[in-house]
Amino acid sequence: MEIQKIGVVGAGQMGNGIAHVAAVAGYDVWMSDISQDALDAAMTLIDRNMERQVSRELIAADAKAEAMARIRTSLKLADLGQCDLIIEAATERESVKQAIFEDLIPHLQPHTILTTNTSSISITRLASRTDRPERFMGFHFMNPVPVMQLVELIRGIATDRETYDSCLAVVERIGKTAASAEDFPAFIVNRILMPMINEAVYTLYEGVGNVRSIDQSMKLGANHPMGPLELADFIGLDTCLAIMNVLHEGLADTKYRPCPLLTKYVEAGWLGRKAKRGFYDYRGEEPVPTR
């Protein structure tokens, strides 16, 4: 099936990035959120990010104007019912995602493919709560979406070949690379990345090093572009904790136990960049380590 219209649920950092790359690739896009302020902020950010692409000669000015015109926003999920493919990019809580799919289902066309941008939740379990498990799969973009080249495609037990092929075609059209992952906790990227971040937090918790020394060690000693604690702040410490809990519960292995210090930061509301405090304090001109 050829995808022409794409619906995006959620206008946050992942949702607006997905809408951005889909529109640039020529898809008509409907982006929905429960907040008009979030939709307005998303459109402003998309415009700014596309303008940056124009200034770098990655896209032409007229292509930017055409892409912006292809994005429509709505507070009503029902307006996404006309789409061929829907990508849910709401908060990383299973109950929220299930409620979204329940609200969407009465408005969908028979051929509509449902996907989720979840970074860790079971695709098979989410699919089983819908009326189309064979047309449901994981469509996991990396953050920031316009920059990162990878998309994880995750099939649930019931996902059929046509659905996978249709989603693969979308990944190729938006100019990204697909990695096919099996439906096990956290898939590929976060199965490897999050335990590394969690171990960095344990290294801090146990006093082996401070925030700056841990991040410098991984940047200069392992050639990572960002230190693990800096990266955790960028991702969001609440998201990191949620993924570690999925790994710990889903695999029942103590090596995935979330570090108590990570839990403490989340309890304090120090969630990283978005909260202005995490392993670094972002309230001044330069980030300052908090430990």
Annotation: binding site: 10-15, 33, 92, 97, 119, 143, 274
Of 16, 117, 122, 152, the catalytic one is 152
- Give catalytic status of residue 120 as yes or no: no
Rounded alpha-carbon distances, angstroms, from residue 198 to 107, 194, 283, 290 = 41, 6, 24, 17
- The answer to whether residue 152 is catalytic is yes
Binding-site residue numbers for NAD(+) are 10-15, 33, 92, 97, 119, 143, 274
- List the catalytic residue out of 117, 140, 166, 198: 140
d(CA 114, CA 9): 11
From 49, 120, 166, 190, active-site residue:
190
First to last CA, the chain: 52
190 is catalytic: yes
Q: What is the largest CA-CA distance in the chain?
A: 56
Distance CA 139, CA 164 (A): 10
Alpha-carbon distance of 11 to 17, in angstroms, equals: 9
Buried b (16+ CB within 10 A) or exposed e, 31-64: bbbeeeebbeebbeebeebbeebeeeeebeeebb
Question: At residue 126, what is the residue type?
Answer: L
User: Which one from 16, 32, 49, 119 is the annotated catalytic residue?
Assistant: 119
Whether the CA torsion 253, 256, 259, 262 is positive or negative: it is negative
Looking at 56-118, list the stretches that DSSP marks H as alpha helix, in order from N- to C-terminal side.
61-69, 94-104
Q: Which residues are catalytic?
A: 119, 140, 152, 190
